[in-house]
Structure 1
Amino acid sequence: MVEVSFTQNLQRHVECHALQVADGTLAEVLERVFEVYPALKDYVLTEQGELRKHVMLAIDQQLVQGALPARQRLNSGSRLHVMQALSGG
C-alpha cells in the first residue's frame, strides 16, 4: 500500500485526510485517491491532467519538479505527500 498524506493548508480548502491506496503508477495512485476525494482532483490537476502551479507532490521525500511523472511506479511502502506550493515574503 502507498501512504498518501496532505498538508493542513490543503485540508482547509478541500476535504482530504491521510489514507492508504494500492500501489501502482503515480497516475493510478492519484486516481485511487480521487475516487475517495473527488473534489481533490480539480484542485490538484488541470483539465489537461497536469499538476496545478499551486500544488506540489513529494514521493518518498523527493519533490516532483516539472512535468508530472505519471508513469513513475510507487511501490508498497512508498509515501506520497500532497501540498500547496506557497510563496510570498
Structure 2
Amino acid sequence: MPTVQFTPQLRRFIDTPEVHSRAATLRAALDDAFAPNPRLRGYVLDDQGALRANVVVFIDGERCLERVRLDQPLQLGSAVYVLQALSGG
C-alpha cells in the first residue's frame, strides 16, 4: 500500500503523520493524507488544487513533474515524499 511522508520542515508548522493509503493516484493519496488534518492541504496545495510553488513531491525516488492534475499512478508499495523547498542563504 502506498505511503505518504512529509519532511520535518512541514512538521514544524502542522501535524504530518505518515499515511498509508490504498490510493491509485498521487491526488487520491494526498487526499487521504489531508483527511485527518484538513489544514495540511493549504500547506501543500494552492487554492486551485495544484502543488504550491515551494512544494516538491517524489514518488519512488522520481520527482513528480505534473503539478496540477497530480494523476501520477501509484504502485502497491510506492513511497511518496512531500518536501517543502527551502530558500535563503
Common fold: TM-score over 0.5: yes
**Aligned-residue CA RMSD (Å):** 1.4
Matched to 1:16, the amino acid is: T
Q: Within the alignment, does 1:40 sit opposite 2:43 as a pair?
A: no
Runs of 5+ unmatched residues, structure 2: none
Runs of 5+ unmatched residues, structure 1: none
Matched to 1:53, the amino acid is: A
Q: For this pair of structures, how many residues does the alignment match?
A: 89
The residue that corresponds to 2:54 in the other structure is 54
- Whether contact under 8 Å (1:7, 1:83) holds in the other structure is yes
Superposition TM-score, scaled by structure 2 size: 0.89
Superposition TM-score, scaled by structure 1 size: 0.89
The residue that corresponds to 2:87 in the other structure is 87
SS in structure 1 of the partner of residue 67 of structure 2:
coil
- For the residues of structure 1 that align with 2:68 and 2:10, how far apart are their CA atoms? 19
Higher helix share: 1
Higher strand share: 1
- For the residues of structure 1 that align with 2:69 and 2:63, how far apart are their CA atoms? 11
Q: Between the two proteins, what is the percent identity of the paired residues?
A: 37
SS in structure 1 of the partner of residue 40 of structure 2:
helix
- For the residues of structure 1 that align with 2:64 and 2:73, how far apart are their CA atoms? 13
The residue that corresponds to 1:31 in the other structure is 31
- 1:53-82, CA deviations, whole angstroms, 9 ceiling, x for partnerless residues? 121111111122353452211111001001
